[in-house]
């Protein structure tokens, strides 16, 4: 009590913290609650909150963070408040992008020697005295996080999630040391199976302060990207360029110079944003390190372009100051791609059973289950919660994913040996059941649709919350952004978030390995993945924000293809074309493999896409590449359309043009003569296509004769 506090305290001259907040929780729908109390003898407030606030919070699936100045003793001289404000001003280098209430416990305990702060978190039915609550309930941006490559970038929250409760094994430390020791190698690749910790290792290179004794600074990685299925050459180039412009002197001006030269030089977006500026800023002693995690993750066409870009960055003589560190899944085509044969390979194995057990126990520590809400109606797979622990873990099934998810599976028994079935699909199903059984019925009903939409969007924090909100309405789940965050937090490590708690938040499935396991759960969740794809398409048509437009540009064709609507996918891609011919070439090169995979190489839309690509190659000044693409197209047309089909004849005409543009004038004249004869026979001499071939034949004959003249 303060010296001037009225005695005795009554409802008319004091505020009863526990009862006052409880009454307000009964009638409020908050997007989370943060309570900071600088007062003496606040331990009873924490105990009261644990018993009396959790009821209304559980009833509304709410989220809460409570931090108080002292236990059952006094709080001296405003030290709690002064320390908080001081910490806000200086930041905490070992914490994430934003400061959470739990982050303040250690600074207060250190600076306020005569008092012990207490923290309490309520998230998804669980009361906790440790970290790991809702990352969206943050207080202020962490000013100490101002030097690494992803400060303020969309992927910063993803790095926070990867490095939270970091358990760095000896194997990972050796791997980190190998990466750093090989700094002279122009291309280093960390290769390992899914779930082995590659992304976590990459995150520690970006934020080395989270690892004791790591002999590098946050400037070690100059720019970084965590690749997803939605990543394209354009999106990666633009993201890296924005980071480099902030961290490399002269880079922004070099980009402007490359843009001015683009049309004359035939540059594409990678040339403009990355390749040319990097060459321009080269100076003696300078070294620029780019980090690309998940090089195997993008769609096949985009992956091929990105691999080619990485290969060029690490082979060109004018880019010898550039280093690339890539994370690649073992067993993907990427880890044995001939274009990357010069990479220095660093293997990262799966964690051991002991490693997983240690992380599970760390995750269980200080967790107190509040208790399940009434189980929702609807089918769910049978689960035996009393099953005895398995002695062996099927580590290959998910690595660290097993540990993160198992640590969240309910019921939790403190100190109990790890209960892992060894089957990632089963653990994922149990994690979903935990979310369903510890939340309200309306939130439980929304879990299936939300997971389906995020699976359709893909792994990584890729889907803007505004699109998720809109897409949920297609499932008749009219949830606000507040309720969406409630659902998201209830799913724990299944979900990853970017810029949590803000209007710019994006969400996604935490890891690519979870996608098939979640898809298997849709049968008993009674949701259809195709409906999710259609819901996202509808949402993108209704939103025009920058984030929504960027997502649509990289993902809408994929959603159309997943729905079996290749025609609309083709039309959408065509609408993305720009006046820059090199970018149009890359656009069709990126999407053609996906179209072929979806509908087959002989589908009319696949033939049209291949013709578009061949044409854009020719327009961008690549007649040899265009000739090869037209030749592949002709082989398919001859087989399914026949030699006299107008489309087949058009391709032969275009092949003759490419032959001439490549310098074979005699070959072009001979081919045009044959095409003209066939067009006149099939279409008639007065048809516009026949006239076009006759005109081209005359022009190429003239060029051939001029070449022969002395």
Query: Using H for helix, E for strand and C for coil, what is the string for 78-126?
Result: CHHHHHHHHHHHHCCCCCCCEECHHHHHHHHHHHCCCCCCEEEEEECCE
pLDDT (average), residues 247-275: 93
Residue 376 pLDDT > 70: no
β-strands 118-123, 126-128: how paired? antiparallel
Q: Mean pLDDT, the chain, as a whole number?
A: 85
DSSP 493: G
Cis amide prior to 8 (ω within 30 degrees)? yes
**Tokens representing residue 62 in the block:** 């709410």
Residue 387 pLDDT > 50: no
**Tokens representing residue 602 in the block:** 């002989």
**Range of lowest pLDDT (45-59, 531-545, 573-587, 693-707):** 45-59
β-strands 126-128, 367-369: how paired? antiparallel
Asked if 326 and 257 touch (Cβ cutoff 8 Å), the reply is: no
Helix (H, G, I), strand (E, B) or coil at 36: strand
Residue 393 pLDDT > 60: no
**Greatest Cα pair distance in the chain:** 115
- Residue 75 has phi, psi (to 5 degrees) of -110, 120
Q: pLDDT for 27-81, tens place per residue?
A: 566 678 888 988 887 777 667 666 656 565 555 556 888 888 887 778 888 899 9
**Tokens representing residue 245 in the block:** 């412009």
Could you give the C-alpha distances from 292 to 109, 338, 391, 483, in angstroms and in order? 39, 18, 37, 34
Asked if 476 and 495 touch (Cβ cutoff 8 Å), the reply is: no
CA–CA gap between residue 623 and residue 662 (Å, rounded): 6
Q: Please give the full DSSP string across 269-320, using - where no structure is assigned.
A: HHIIIIIHHHHHT--TT--EEEEEE-TT-S-HHHHHHHHHHHHHHTT-GGGT
**Residue 667 CB contacts under 8 Å (≥ 6 apart), including other chains:** 659, 660
**What is the predicted pLDDT for the residue at 37?**
87
**Tokens representing residue 650 in the block:** 């058009």
Which CATH architecture describes the domain 562-708?
Alpha Horseshoe (1.25)
Tokens 């009319």 belong to: 604
**What is the predicted pLDDT for the residue at 589?**
96
Q: Please give the full DSSP string across 320-332, using - where no structure is assigned.
A: TTEEEEEEEETTS
**Range of lowest pLDDT (216-220, 358-362, 487-491, 703-707):** 358-362
Provide Rg for the chain, Cα atoms: 30
pLDDT (average), residues 285-289: 94
Would the CA dihedral through 141, 146, 149, 153 be positive or negative? positive
Residue 374 pLDDT > 80: no
Q: pLDDT for 458-478, tens place per residue?
A: 999 999 999 999 999 988 777
The CA dihedral of 476, 482, 487, 493, to the nearest 10 degrees, is 140
Beta bridge partners of 123: 126
Asked if 64 and 32 touch (Cβ cutoff 8 Å), the reply is: yes
Please name the helix (run of DSSP H) or strand (run of DSSP E) that holds residue 154, with its range, or none: none
**What is the predicted pLDDT for the residue at 370?**
38
DSSP 271: I
Helix (H, G, I), strand (E, B) or coil at 202: helix
CA–CA gap between residue 231 and residue 215 (Å, rounded): 31
Of 240 and 502, the one with more pLDDT = 240
Asked if 653 and 692 touch (Cβ cutoff 8 Å), the reply is: yes
Please name the helix (run of DSSP H) or strand (run of DSSP E) that holds residue 506, with its range, or none: strand 506-509
Left if phi > 0, otherwise alpha if psi is -120 to 50, otherwise beta: which for 582?
A: alpha
**What is the predicted pLDDT for the residue at 397?**
44
* Helices and strands: H and E segment counts in the chain: 29, 15
The CA dihedral of 404, 408, 414, 419, to the nearest 10 degrees, is -70
CATH class of 154-347: alpha beta
Asked if 204 and 340 touch (Cβ cutoff 8 Å), the reply is: no
Q: pLDDT for 401-452, tens place per residue?
A: 777 787 777 444 334 444 444 578 888 998 999 888 877 787 888 999 999 9
Q: How many CA atoms lie within 13 A of 317 on its CB side?
A: 0
pLDDT (average), residues 627-638: 96
Could you give the C-alpha distances from 357 to 53, 341, 354, 435, 654, in angstroms and in order? 32, 37, 5, 22, 63
Count Cβ atoms within 10 A of the Cβ of residue 532 and give its class: 0-12 exposed, 13-18 middle, 19 or more buried. Answer: buried
Could you give the C-alpha distances from 306 to 234, 624, 671, in angstroms and in order? 10, 21, 36
- Please state the separation of Cα 563 from the chain's center in Å: 22
DSSP H helices, 315-438, are 353-364, 400-406, 424-437
CA triplet 278, 281, 287: central angle to 5 degrees? 75
């Amino acid at each position: 009590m303060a010296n001037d506090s009225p005695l005795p305290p009554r409802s008319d001259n004091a505020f009863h913290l526990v009862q006052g907040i409880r009454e307000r929780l009964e009638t409020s729908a908050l997007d989370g609650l943060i309570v900071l109390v600088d007062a003496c003898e606040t331990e009873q407030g924490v105990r009261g909150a644990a018993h009396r606030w959790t009821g209304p919070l559980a009833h509304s699936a709410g989220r809460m963070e409570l931090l108080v100045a002292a236990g059952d003793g006094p709080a001296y001289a405003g030290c709690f408040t002064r320390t908080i404000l001081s910490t806000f001003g200086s930041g905490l280098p070992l914490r994430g992008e934003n400061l959470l209430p739990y982050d303040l416990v250690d600074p207060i305990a250190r600076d306020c020697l005569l008092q012990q702060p207490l923290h309490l978190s309520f998230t998804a039915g669980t009361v906790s005295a440790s970290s790991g609550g809702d990352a969206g309930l943050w207080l202020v941006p962490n000013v100490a996080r101002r030097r690494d490559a992803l400060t303020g970038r969309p992927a910063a929250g993803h790095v926070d999630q990867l490095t939270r409760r970091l358990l760095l094994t000896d194997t990972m430390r050796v791997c980190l040391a190998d990466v750093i020791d090989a700094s002279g190698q122009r291309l280093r690749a960390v290769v390992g199976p899914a779930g082995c910790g590659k992304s976590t290792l990459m995150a520690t290179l970006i934020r080395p302060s989270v690892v004791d004794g790591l002999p590098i600074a946050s400037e070690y990685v100059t720019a970084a990207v965590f690749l997803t299925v939605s990543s394209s050459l354009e999106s990666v180039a633009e993201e890296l360029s924005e980071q480099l412009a902030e961290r490399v002197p002269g880079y922004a001006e070099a980009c402007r110079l490359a843009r001015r030269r683009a049309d004359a030089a035939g540059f594409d977006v990678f040339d403009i944003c990355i390749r040319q500026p990097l060459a321009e800023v080269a100076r003696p002693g300078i070294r620029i390190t780019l980090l690309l995690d998940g090089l195997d993750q993008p769609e096949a066409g985009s992956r091929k372009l990105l691999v080619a870009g990485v290969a060029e960055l690490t082979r060109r003589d004018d880019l010898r100051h550039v280093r690339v560190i890539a994370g690649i899944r073992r067993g993907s085509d990427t880890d044995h791609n001939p274009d990357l044969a010069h990479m220095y390979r660093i293997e990262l194995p799966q964690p051991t059973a002991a490693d997983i057990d240690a992380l599970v126990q760390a995750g269980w520590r200080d967790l107190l289950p509040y208790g399940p809400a009434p189980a929702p109606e609807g089918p769910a797979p049978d689960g035996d919660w009393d099953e005895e622990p398995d002695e062996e873990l099927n580590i290959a099934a998910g690595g660290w994913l097993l540990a993160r998810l198992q640590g969240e599976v309910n019921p939790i028994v403190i100190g109990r040996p790890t209960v892992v079935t060894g089957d990632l699909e089963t653990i994922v199903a149990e994690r979903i059941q935990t979310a369903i059984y510890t939340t309200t019925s309306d939130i439980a009903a929304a879990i299936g649709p939300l997971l389906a939409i995020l699976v359709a969007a893909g792994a990584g924090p890729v889907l803007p919350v505004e699109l998720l909100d809109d897409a949920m309405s297609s499932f008749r789940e009219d949830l606000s952004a507040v309720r969406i965050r409630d659902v998201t937090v209830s799913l724990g490590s299944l979900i990853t978030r970017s810029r949590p708690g803000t209007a710019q938040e994006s969400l996604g499935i935490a890891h690519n390995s979870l996608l098939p396991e979640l898809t298997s759960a849709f049968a008993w969740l009674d949701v259809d993945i195709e409906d999710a794809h259609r819901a996202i398409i509808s949402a993108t048509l209704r939103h025009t924000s920058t984030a929504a437009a960027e997502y649509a540009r990289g993902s809408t064709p994929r959603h159309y293809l997943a729905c079996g609507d290749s025609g609309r996918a083709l039309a959408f891609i065509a609408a993305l074309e720009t006046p820059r011919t090199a970018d149009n070439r890359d656009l069709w090169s990126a999407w053609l493999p996906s179209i072929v995979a979806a509908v087959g190489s002989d589908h009319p839309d696949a033939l049209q896409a291949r013709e578009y690509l061949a044409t854009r190659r020719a327009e961008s000044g690549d007649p040899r590449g265009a000739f090869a693409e037209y030749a592949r197209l002709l082989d398919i047309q001859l087989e399914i359309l026949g030699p006299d089909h107008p489309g087949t004849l058009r391709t032969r005409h275009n092949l003759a043009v490419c032959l001439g543009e490549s310098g074979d004038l005699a070959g072009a004249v001979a081919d045009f003569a044959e095409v003209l004869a066939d067009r006149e026979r099939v279409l008639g001499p007065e048809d516009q296509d026949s006239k076009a071939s006759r005109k081209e034949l005359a022009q190429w004959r003239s060029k051939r004769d001029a070449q022969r003249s002395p």
